[in-house]
Amino acid sequence: MRPDAGLATLRPYQSSAVEQARENGRAGVLRQIIYSPTGSGKTEIAIALIHSANSKGRRVAFVANRIGLVEQAARRLRESGLSVGVLQGDNTHRLDAPVLVCSIHTVARRGLPVDIDVIVIDEAHGVAGSSHYRDLLFRYNALPVIGLSATPFAKGLGKHYDKLGGALFERIVQAASIRELIDMGFLVDCDIYAPTEPDLSGVAMVRNAFGEQDYNERQLAAAVDKPSLVGDIVAHWRRLARDLPTVCFATSIAHSKHIASEFNAAGISAEHIDCYTDEEERRGILARVTSGQTRVISNVGILAEGWDMPACGVMILARPTRSLTRWIQMAGRVLRPYPRKGRAIILDHSGSAARLGYPTDDLPLELDDGAAKKPGAGKEKEEPKPKKCPSCSYMKPARVHTCPACGLAPERPSEVEVEPGELVRLKRDRKPTREEKQAFYSQLLELSVDEKWSPHRAACVYRDKFGVYPKGLEKVPEPATQEVRNFVTSRQIAYINAKRKEAGNAAARP
């Protein structure tokens, strides 16, 4: 598939999101976020909205949070045929244009022209955590605002403010889900390997810019920027990355430079980029990455948003995080389709996949109202997370037993042991895990089909083993092990013996 081949076919999704946003606007919803996964064409959605607004004589301010994103957006909007000006520091020009691409930092200092009619905010998940963005919405609270984001669940995005007479954002419009777009070939799926994980026991937790709890970055840098860990990153890249173009996310600028240096020392061309890299040098680095001259580009977070390079097939995550927003944004860099790019590869040296799940899992599309949650209040059942294959370090998706990468099917821990004089005995010296309960129930469901059991029988056998009926478990059949078959057989024998004893007792009665 060509890098942009999905865009034309994606337009039904994009058009649907645009129409829904318009309908919401007509219904009086002033501030809304359009959710569209990374790589699915958020800029195309913005272009359609802006063309529509301009056709009605309305001026639009498109606001971004970094110089690189301002430059990129201005170029893309001009290429679509829009007449564009820029409000960004010394680069400000054509302030009377129908479309004004703005830096939020310049807007915070100078404000917007008085005749702006609509505000579009790129990467809108950062609005709640930014005083500049909040002040923008407070100051222009009578204007319709449309946010664009692949991660619209940052804390406080749905918080009520008296200055707005309502929530920061009032509604989410969904263009498509990640899984839908992967299934239709507009994004690629990923394979995750987790070769190593740093010791983070001494690293404190703080609230990040998205309102989520995440690691203290100074302490984190000290924990992960070690020669053994950096060297391990290079070794595993050689083994697993197949020499594909790679982006690496590090914990600090020094850490990122060390990683790039280790790659270069190993004969693998690598460069580092950060927010202090001047614009000309930055363009040169990205051009060398795009051409293939540089195989690995390392950074802290500057490439996590707005950087488009579909050929990039590998992400190295050397930056541990507990932030779902940060994880999705970083992983999204390698999910775009490209010729001969069947699946992306993520080398997770941070333990993030085990904590947060696959970046292609369904997301919690709900605006957070910013209220403190009482312990346990409204707490939903935690979804199972991926687990590392002990043989090849592949991160197996939740509920997958046999490793898709190497084929290893680990023996399940058995609760049953055979002893002389009795068929089986249930060990009760420890509480069974939810995963073990799910595995047992799944195997009973498979037996239900094979043995043509009555619908209720699997639940009854489960109760015989655990003392309760199955609750909150997935109805996913799985081939039964011999241990499970032995347990079922033992229950059958016990049932037959009980019936015979009951019949004997009845015959013995006078």
Query: How far is Cα 340 from Cα 242, in angstroms, rounded to an integer?
Result: 13
pTM: 0.68
Structure tokens at 234: 């290079």
Query: How far is Cα 433 from Cα 495, in angstroms, rounded to an integer?
Result: 27
Residue 39 host element (H or E):
none
pLDDT at 380: 46
Helix/strand/coil for 209: coil
Query: How far is Cα 483 from Cα 504, in angstroms, rounded to an integer?
Result: 31
Hey, what amino acid is at 1? Answer: M
Query: How far is Cα 10 from Cα 6, in angstroms, rounded to an integer?
Result: 6
Query: How far is Cα 32 from Cα 161, in angstroms, rounded to an integer?
Result: 15
What is the topology classification, in CATH, of domain 12-176? Rossmann fold (3.40.50)
Pairing of strands 213-215, 246-249: unpaired
Residues linked to residue 425 through DSSP beta bridges, in sequence order: 417
Query: How far is Cα 389 from Cα 407, in angstroms, rounded to an integer?
Result: 10
Hey, what amino acid is at 473? Answer: L
Residue 102 host element (H or E):
strand 99-103
Angstrom CA distances, 373 to 151, 172, 383, stand at 21, 21, 19
pLDDT at 197: 76
At residue 150's C-alpha, the angle toward residues 89 and 248, to 5°, is 75
Structure tokens at 263: 């790659």
Is the torsion defined by CA of 157, 163, 164, 166 positive or negative? positive
Same fold, 12-176 and 181-199+225-362+388-430: yes
- Going residue by residue through the chain, which has 510 residues, state the pLDDT in tens, using 9 for 90 and above: 333 433 444 555 666 666 776 777 766 768 999 998 877 788 888 999 999 999 999 999 999 988 888 998 999 999 999 999 999 999 999 999 999 999 999 999 999 999 999 999 999 999 998 999 999 999 999 999 999 998 888 889 999 999 999 999 999 988 888 888 888 888 899 999 987 777 888 888 888 777 778 888 888 888 888 777 777 889 889 988 989 999 999 999 999 999 999 999 999 999 999 988 988 999 999 999 999 999 999 999 899 887 889 899 999 999 989 888 899 989 999 999 998 888 999 999 888 888 888 888 877 788 888 887 655 444 444 567 788 887 787 888 877 878 887 777 776 543 333 233 222 222 334 567 777 788 888 888 888 888 888 768 888 888 888 778 888 787 878 888 877 787 787 777 766 766 676 666 666 655
Is the torsion defined by CA of 503, 505, 506, 508 positive or negative? positive
pLDDT at 194: 86
Q: Please check whether residue 359 is in contact with residue 182, taking contact to mean a CB–CB distance below 8 angstroms.
A: no
Domain covering 181-199+225-362+388-430 assigned CATH 3.40.50.300 in the classification: yes
Pairing of strands 387-388, 395-396: antiparallel
Identify the residue whose tokens are 């994103």: 69
pLDDT at 423: 28
- What 3 state SS string does 303-372 have? CCCCCCCCCCCEEEECCCCCCHHHHHHHHHHHCCCCCCCCCEEEEECCCHHHHHCCCCCCCCCCCCCCCC
pLDDT at 385: 78
**Which of these, 167, 149, 189, 134, lies nearest to 46 by C-alpha position?**
149
* 171, 176, 178, 183: CA torsion to nearest 10: 160
pLDDT at 148: 93
Identify the residue whose tokens are 């370090």: 393
Helix/strand/coil for 297: strand
Query: How far is Cα 197 from Cα 364, in angstroms, rounded to an integer?
Result: 26
Domain boundaries, the chain: 12-176, 181-199+225-362+388-430, 434-498
